[in-house]
Structure 1
Amino acid sequence: MKERGMKRILRDERGMALAVAIFALVVVGALVAGAFFAGTQEQRVGENQRRVQSSFGVAEGGAQQRVMDWVPDSMNTRPLYPADTGVPFYSPSSPRTAPGGTGRYYGTSYKLGNNIFLIAVTGMDNATASGLTAGGGGARQRIGMITRLAPIDFGIRASLTTQGGVSLTGNATVEGADQNPTTWTSCDPPGPSQAGIRDNGGNVSTGGNGDVNGEPPVLNDPGLSSDHFSNFGGTTYSQLAARANIQLPGGGTYKTQPAYKGNGDCDTAVLTNWGDGVTPTTKCGLYFPIIHIAGSATLNGDQGQGILLVDGDLSVQGSYQFFGITIIQGDLSTAGGGSTDAHFWGGVMAKNANLSIQSLSGHATLNYSSCSILAALQASSAISMMRQRGWIQLY
């Protein structure tokens, strides 16, 4: 009986090896499938992370490129957001290829304050930009860079800064008291008075009704040297001249006045259009170019504004008006004017390295104006990223 029971048990266990083998195969298959799934997911996560980082780099590079491509005369004078809804650069349908071809980007610039701008950029890696990602999704990164104007410090501490002597005759006047141009209504109240003339010990003489006023009228600065007329903080005269919107040859007599297109917009393509400081509410009233004259020149009517750079001597005839900063590597002379004064509103720097005499005669008035200087700097300055909290990730 016992042997018969044992045989029955052995007969009942037939096929167990197959079942165990199948079970083992299922377990092993599940483990292998799990390993493959985990590996695939890890690969996908790594690829997604790579594309996200690539998109972030494209967005960051696009923001830096926008800073490098900044056009001060068209951007710096725009209204504040939300009155101005921003300036798009490129678009989702037509993005720009990033340097190195790593992706594409587009964005918008916003003016948040008089000196503060936000650059919002969306970056995409190549697969996303080309529409090659599955399901139409992809990696995008949107960042915002907060920038500010980086004005040049010209070190203007007087109405007229020069190395040589100054002769004032006729009705010529140099005024160091801070004054706002008569037609400029948006200026802050005038600031403290500056020196009328700042020199390094040259003789200042007056004749007729010529006069110098300021705090003090004449400031003798032994430390004033040629370097003050060619190096301005981290910017040189040559670098500034290379950035000029308007390049003119020397040796000419120029009559400059505002020019407008048929639709009323300011025509900045006209080389003798130097803005409209006399009527600042016009379209050309917001145009403050950097003007570079490669040599000596004569100005004989009507007006201009911005930053004027003259490689040689500058002669001003008649009732010419200029608003902003004037830097002359040679001598300054004025004459004429008739019944209307020739005005410089802002600050004038005349290097005259040969220490010759600056001759101001006729109805010529040099007025120190911090408002004119600030307006010229704000309209012509490049931008730079804020040192702290310079960027933010946008969603």
Structure 2
Amino acid sequence: MKRIPRNERGMALAVAIFALVVVGALVAGAFFAGTQEQRVGENQRRVQTSFGVAEAGAQERVLSWDATSMNKRPQYPADSVVIGPNATAPNGTGSYGGYSYKVGPNLFLIDMTGRDNASAAGAIAGGGGARQRIGMLTRIAPVDFGIHASLTTQGSVSISGNADVNGADQIPAGWTSCDPPGPPQAGVRDQGGNVTESGNGTVLGNPPVVNDPTINNNTFTTFGGATYAQMTARANLVIPAGNYSTAPVVTNGQCDRTVLTNWGDGENPTAPCGSYWPIIHATGTITLNNTQGQGILLVDGDLNIQGSYQFFGIVIIQGDLKTAGGGTTDAHFWGGVMAKNADLSTQSLSGKATLNFSSCSILTALQATSPISMMRSRGWAQLY
């Protein structure tokens, strides 16, 4: 027969100790779970903050994009540009850094890594911390100036001497990266004014002259994607009224972009200044005489061209266009010219002045000077 002890003294102490152990374990478990939840929440907050910093850094890169120095860079893997590497995020929420890569003629990849303040400062135990990396795919967003002729104007046009306005799509000499010429455009597109030819002056195109009654003052100030005022605000070079001779300047083998009269080198596209396409804003009437320039020229007043001068790209004139001379050059303009002449005065082209429509010059100027924007569909992805 099993013997049952009768004396149970001391059992209460054992039960109490066991209960304390169980309760202590439960309390410790609760504290541990709470601490872990707090850590998980804190880590998640840091991750989200770091993600926001990376996204803000990528957006800041888009907003501060310097088209003149970035758009004409070589494609990856030949080139990449460092961002940061420890740039401060807006509102001081962290720091970001990364790289930008040109992955196509009009496409750029912005690879950005963001860290919150605590992680960036190394204040996390064990040396860890939150870090988020995103890739944003962007494209060049060119302005649509609506150039459909060699010369677009409101008033009449007088062509004399050996002046020539040609709407046939042409490629400047020495430019080897252009696509084949497109269909010919009109030589002159106007509001309905008279286009007169005298001497050996000619207007060529398909057709030579187009009368477009929709042309008005807004044609020269409001474009697809920007206004004239917005374009002048983006200008790299701002010059007052006066007479100018512009030519490329190379210092120690590099294009010197600090010189006010260095407007690139359209005659030698492979030279150091061949990739420099500035936006030039003239705040008054200017006269150009020798030698060349390229980019987008914005003139608040009149534009007078004398002697041997060539410009490659887009010209927007709020006043009148007057040309004379021409020297030994093949053309004064390669690209497209828009002259507002709000007083409906006559555009006077004389001497050996020539205006050649060139879609390659127009597209190159737009590619080199336009800002970038995020792709509409799946513009970014999280990277690891």
Into which bin does the TM-score normalised by the smaller protein fall?
over 0.9
Which runs of no fewer than 5 residues in structure 2 stay unpaired?
none
- In structure 2, how many angstroms separate the alpha carbons of the residues matched to 1:197 and 1:105? 51
Which residue is equivalent to 2:81? 87
Alpha-carbon deviation of 1:341? 4.0
Structure 1 residue 354 corresponds to structure 2 residue 349: no
Contact 2:326 2:332 in 1 (8 A): no
Residue 259 of structure 1 corresponds to: 249
> 1 CA distance for matches of 2:351 and 2:27?
97
- Larger CA Rg, structure 1 vs 2: 1
Asked if structure 2 preserves the Cα contact closer than 8 Å seen for 1:318 and 1:342, the reply is no
> Counterpart in 1 of 2:43?
48
Give secondary structure in 2 for the equivalent of 1:288: coil
Could you give the per-residue CA deviations for residues 295-340 of structure 1, whole angstroms, max 9, x where no partner exists?
Answer: 1010001000000000000100012100000000000011112344
The one-letter amino acid paired with 2:380 is W
Give per-residue Cα distances to partners, 1:327-374, cap 9 Å, x unaligned.
000000111123444420000000000000000000011000000000
Partner residue in 2 for 1:97? 88
Matched, 1:217 2:208: yes
On the 8 A contact 1:121/1:142 being kept in 2, the answer is yes
Matched, 1:192 2:183: yes
Aligned residues of 2:138 and 2:375 also touching (Cα < 8 A): yes
d(CA) in 2 for partners of 1:266 and 1:151?
24
**Deviation digits for residues 80-133 of structure 1 (CA, Å, limit 9, x no counterpart):** 10121x100122xxx011110101111100000000000011100000111101
Pair 296,134 (structure 1): closer, same or farther in 2 beyond 3 Å: same
What do the CA deviations read for 1:196-232 (whole angstroms, capped 9, x no partner)?
0000100000000000011110000001111010011
The aligned counterpart of 1:70 is 65
Cα distance per residue 1:20-51 (max 9 Å; x no partner)? 11111111111111111111111100000000
AA matched with 2:155: G
Residues 1:36 and 2:31 aligned together: yes
Give, in angstroms, the shift of residue 58 of structure 1.
Answer: 0.4
What residue number does 1:392 align with?
381
- Matched with 2:197 is 206
Alignment correspondent of 1:317: 306
Give the superposition deviation at 1:10.
Answer: 2.5
Q: For residue 270 of structure 2, give the secondary structure of its aligned residue in structure 1.
A: coil
1:281 match: 270
Preserved contact between residue 319 and residue 341 of structure 1 (Cα < 8 Å): no
Moved more, 66-75 or 50-59: 66-75
Distance in 1 (CA, whole Å) between partners of 2:356 and 2:13 is 106
Q: How far is the alpha carbon of 1:16 from its aligned partner?
A: 1.0
Aligned residue runs from structure 1 range 110-149, under 5 A: 110-149=101-140
- Equivalent in the alignment of 2:99: 108
2:310 and 2:329 in contact (8 A); partners too: no
Cα RMSD after superposing both structures: 1.2
State the match for 1:247 in structure 2: 238
For 1:287 and 1:341, locate their aligned partners in 2 and report how far apart those are by CA, in whole Å: 22
Confirm or deny that 1:16 pairs with 2:11.
yes
Note if contact 2:167-2:187 (Cα within 8 Å) is conserved in structure 1. Answer: yes
Q: Where does structure 1 differ by over 4 angstroms across 4 or more consecutive aligned residues?
A: none
Query: Do the aligned partners of 1:334 and 1:360 also contact (CA within 8 Å) in 2?
Result: yes
SS of match in other structure, 1:55: helix
1:242 Cα deviation (Å)?
1.1
TM-score normalised per structure 1: 0.95
SS where residue 150 of structure 2 aligns? strand
Q: Tell me the secondary structure at the aligned position of residue 10 of structure 1.
A: coil
Deviation, structure 1 residue 182? 1.2
Relative to the length of structure 2, the TM-score reads: 0.98
Distance in 1, Cα, partners of 2:232 & 2:21: 79
Q: Distance in 1 between matches of 2:279 and 2:328?
A: 30
Provide the C-alpha distance between the structure 2 equivalents of 1:253 and 1:292, rounded to a whole number of angstroms. Answer: 14
Give, in whole Å, the separation in 2 of the partners of 1:42 and 1:338: 80
After TM superposition, give the deviation of residue 15 of structure 1 in Å: 1.1
Distance 1:236 1:149 in 2: 17
Q: Find the aligned partners of 1:356 and 1:362 in 2 and give their Cα distance.
A: 19
3-state secondary structure, aligned to 1:323:
strand
SS at match of 2:46: helix
Partner amino acid, structure 1, of 2:363: L
Deviation, structure 1 residue 159 = 0.3
